[in-house]
Structure 1
Amino acid sequence: MQKIDSVLLDRTEEGVAIVTLNRPSVCNAVNAELTRQLEEVATQVEMDKTIRAAILCGAGSKGFSAGADLREVAAGNVAQLSTSTGGFAGFARLPKNKVWIAAVHGAVMAGGLEIMLACDFAIASEDALFALPEVKWGLIASEGGLYRLPRAIPQALAMEMIVTGASIQANRAMQCGLVNRVVPAEQLKDEALAIARKVSGNAPLAVLHSKALAQQAASSLPEDTLHQLGRDVLARLQNTEDFREGPRAFIERRAPAWKGQ
């Protein structure tokens, strides 16, 4: 196994790469280092002609990812959690021709859900919990959550999750189409590998072009337009007191004192 600090890359399966977010002590929260490394590893996977499918998962028992490390946000380092090419975590907007399968467990929160939504599809363990809780801390899910979630699940449910920060459990996530299947935690990796093997066993060019056409069919407004709209809102919010108050309250483990400015 090749270890690159906050991200692990394993290619023991022929034609399959396993990429692991590796900050388990903080539920794989995204900091600047993970962002840099994930973009590096994902780009390496995309350039490797021997890899046809990739599994993205999270280390440890806490969960797939809690999203942005709010300590970084509170310190004013939010810009370091994105790259010009890959977007949030160096992954959310990274161009991907390979088939990416998210294998998620535990907390799939905020930017963690946005990372999952940047994959082609996902499978989940029975303990997985999904949410976009950004509004609870004065933030917004500008890196895909606000437009990919309403495309992935019924509009009304997406809206409820977005404006309340409420979570849904694995079985409901499967029922509404957010994940493809739910399995016991001990079977998650094997299930993901079984699917990845099926992908890697198919004709590479047929898979490549089928994926591209299917993505075009599912879109309405271009993602570039939606992403820019989200970034514009985020830029305005970053200059407000509430944007600074949310992460501080989270770190101090207290309720935020919102000022609406």
Structure 2
Amino acid sequence: MDSQDPVLVTEPRAGILLITLNRPHVRNAVDASLAGAVDAALTRLETDASLRVGVLTGAGGHFCSGMDLKAFPTAGVPVVADRGLAGLTRARLRKPLIAAVEGAAVAGGFELALACDLITAADSAFFALPEVARGLVAAEGGAIRLPGRLPYHVAMELLLTAAPLPAPEAARYGLVNQLTRDGEALEAALALADRVQAHSRDAVLVTKQIVQRTRGLDDHTAYAVQDPLSTPVFATASAAEGARAFTEKRSPAWQR
């Protein structure tokens, strides 16, 4: 295991980069130091060809309590350049990122999870956007993303009343991909990461890119954006290998 910074621990695991927020004494609240460390870890994920999927989690039984409010009056919101809170909420990552949530994922912590592609959560975990109760706005993706992930009136209740959303309820709405027993969210996230990286690297990266670039577009415009991205994939060695493997009834042998 290697640590890029005392507030963050990174661990490469056979194609997966495990990123652990490590300020458990403040429920992994994000200050400038942690924000910079997360941003560096995400840059490593994006640039290291041996890494195919990232998993983001928190130490000490909690995912993240959002930005460090003690530091906020003097330091402001811990954004990194134009990539948002902790270099994630406004970033456009090419590689899939999975959130493994135990305990609290609130305020900016919930926004970090919403910026991930998949979410696993333990039974006792909970999500909340309590910004209005603090005179703030969920401006790092909460107010933008949540109404598209939950039924509108449910999302608005969370945003306008600061009410918490227990993980089992989030799972019923489809916000959580896998609900686990307490202490097992990370194990489930790593298993999901293995399932993702079992497939063609080209197909996975382009699929995510299409989703990112076509969200909210009408069909005609979306196809115009999608086709230049998807068409080259059909001519790759991975596509040919996938077809051969299917006809030969075997698992594909992807080029790594």
* Common topology (TM > 0.5): yes
Post-superposition Cα deviations, 1:174-226, rounded to whole Å, max 9, x if no partner, equal 011211121012322221111101111110000011111123343369xxxxx
Preserved contact between residue 178 and residue 188 of structure 2 (Cα < 8 Å): no
Post-superposition Cα deviations, 1:50-72, rounded to whole Å, max 9, x if no partner, equal 111111000002x1000011101
CA distance in 2 between partners of 1:211 and 1:124 (Å):
22
Post-superposition Cα deviations, 1:133-172, rounded to whole Å, max 9, x if no partner, equal 0000100100100011111111111100000000010110
SS where residue 8 of structure 1 aligns?
Answer: strand
Q: Match of 1:7?
A: 8
Q: Does 1:131 align with 2:128?
A: yes
Q: Match of 1:22?
A: 22
Q: Does 1:48 align with 2:45?
A: no
Q: Match of 1:176?
A: 173
CA distance in 1 between partners of 2:154 and 2:49 (Å):
39
Q: Which amino acid aligns with 2:66?
A: G
Equivalent residue runs for 1:134-213 within 5 Å: 134-213=131-210
CA distance in 1 between partners of 2:96 and 2:185 (Å):
18
SS where residue 45 of structure 1 aligns?
Answer: helix
Q: Match of 1:64?
A: 63
Q: Which amino acid aligns with 2:179?
A: V
Post-superposition Cα deviations, 1:117-137, rounded to whole Å, max 9, x if no partner, equal 111110100111110000001
Q: Which amino acid aligns with 1:65?
A: C
Which moved further from structure 2: 207-216 or 153-162?
207-216
Q: Which runs of 4+ in 1 moved over 4 A?
A: none
- TM value normalised by structure 2: 0.82
Q: Which amino acid aligns with 2:127?
A: F
SS where residue 124 of structure 1 aligns?
Answer: strand
Q: Which amino acid aligns with 2:50?
A: T
CA distance in 1 between partners of 2:172 and 2:213 (Å):
24
Post-superposition Cα deviations, 1:78-134, rounded to whole Å, max 9, x if no partner, equal 14x012132112221122011100000101100000000111110100111110000
Preserved contact between residue 114 and residue 145 of structure 2 (Cα < 8 Å): yes
Preserved contact between residue 101 and residue 186 of structure 2 (Cα < 8 Å): no
Q: Which amino acid aligns with 1:10?
A: E
SS where residue 67 of structure 1 aligns?
Answer: coil
Which moved further from structure 2: 134-143 or 210-219?
210-219
RMSD across aligned positions (CA)? 1.4
Q: Match of 2:82?
A: 85
**Which one has the largest radius of gyration?**
2
Q: Does 1:121 align with 2:118?
A: yes
In structure 2, the CA distance between the partners of 1:220 and 1:146, relative to structure 1 (3 Å rule), is farther
CA distance in 2 between partners of 1:110 and 1:158 (Å):
14
Q: Match of 2:235?
A: none
Preserved contact between residue 131 and residue 137 of structure 2 (Cα < 8 Å): yes
Which moved further from structure 2: 212-221 or 165-174?
212-221
SS where residue 70 of structure 1 aligns?
Answer: coil
- TM value normalised by structure 1: 0.80
